[in-house]
A and B are shown apart, each in its own frame.
Chain A
Amino acid sequence: MAQLKRIPGTNQPAATLDRRDAVPALIERPHDWLVVAGLAGTAQELCAMTDDGPNVFGLGGAMGAGPMMALGLALSQPNRKVLGITGDGELLMNVGALAAIALQCPPNLKLVCVDNGHYGETGNQDSHTGLGVALDRVAAGFGIPTVHTINTMADIEEGKRILAAPGLAFILLRVKDGPALKKPRSLRPHVVRDRFRAALLGEK
């Protein structure tokens, strides 16, 4: 089968981490966060890690929404830690969101991009990141003050330290192609919204 060529002059180490190990290792206490998780892999794994918890709004559509939803949530809940976690495909779809987020710079917001270099939900075609686009350099160029790249399990310790410290940060978690953790989760978005607000705000 014909394949796209890598972008000339780009060079990244091969991704070796299994996301089923790496994501739970990085986000040890998922219940402590308010989470917006992008479709589809990160929504599946954060819902699996919390047993479809009410602190997670996992997207099943509206591709590109995740990072900006996390910004709106972080600005509205300055005393809570907010995690915006998404994949390379969703981040690329609305990559300008990083500019809007950098400009607001909420100290309680952390962004994690689980980059598998593929469009996993659509037939597993190569994504731009698998062909040389470096989202960590993109995030730094947009002005995100702390950027960290995880290529190995050893890199996860620094990622955990960044997640525990105040300040806007972007973590690029590079994983190999493969399935995410998965358990049954609600795909009814109005149910997910209502239970999120009920748990956080006490709304009846």
Chain B
Amino acid sequence: MTTQDGPAWAHAMYDALRAQGVTQIAYVPDAGHRVMIDRSLADPEVHSIPLTTEEEGVALLAGADLGGARGVLLMQSSGVGNCINMLSLTNGARFPLLTIVSMRGDFGEGNPWQFPMGRATQTVLEAMGVIVLRAEAPEDVLPTIQAASTMAFQSGEAVAVLLSQRLLGAKKF
């Protein structure tokens, strides 16, 4: 692929995060994050870090902050459940956190397995002290990412941006 394949909002999101100084991009592979992952792999100034489980990324970004670097964690909503206790590190030590969550189990979902975690995603994040913002339409994405990165990197908050299936398109079954 060329680096311009995929939706424009996804490229705008990558460019905005790089402009904010993000140099560590950690992820569990996911179709909804394809542009971000591919751009990070092609970017010599970024560490592109595949994880085996999402909670590793929460810990990784805490370590990045100790060293003065900024990172972002990409995951699917099912992975939010894997992060719960690890978020006690973020919360207790007041590490900044920026995570971008591609939703499953919401708008138009055709796989019943995805609903339990999809419906719990926002509640679980908020229960662990993470501020949740949502993007439902292409024009929402850039301002939401810019707001979230300011809240995380300038104010030191933990922030999740949920990318709705209305935005991403529901996977066909």
Contacts and interface: CB of A to CB of B under 8 A. Distances in A.
A171 interface: no
B94 A190 contact: yes
Interface string B47-72: 10111110111111111111111010
Contacts, number: 119
Nearest to A94: B56
B1 interface: no
Nearest to A80: B67
Contact of A61 (B24, B55, B92): B92
A185 to B, nearest CB: 14
B154 interface: no
B52 A99 contact: yes
Interface string A52-74: 00000101011111111111111
B111 interface: no
Main secondary structure of the interface of A (DSSP, over half): helix
Interface in A43-97: 57, 59, 61-77, 94, 96-97
A2 interface: no
Interface in B76-110: 85-86, 88-89, 92-95
Contact of B63 (A70, A94, A99): A70
A104 interface: yes
A34 B53 CA distance: 25
B53 A96 contact: yes
A154 interface: no
Interface of A: 34, 36, 57, 59, 61-77, 94, 96-97, 99-100, 103-104, 189-190, 192-193, 196-197, 200-201, 203
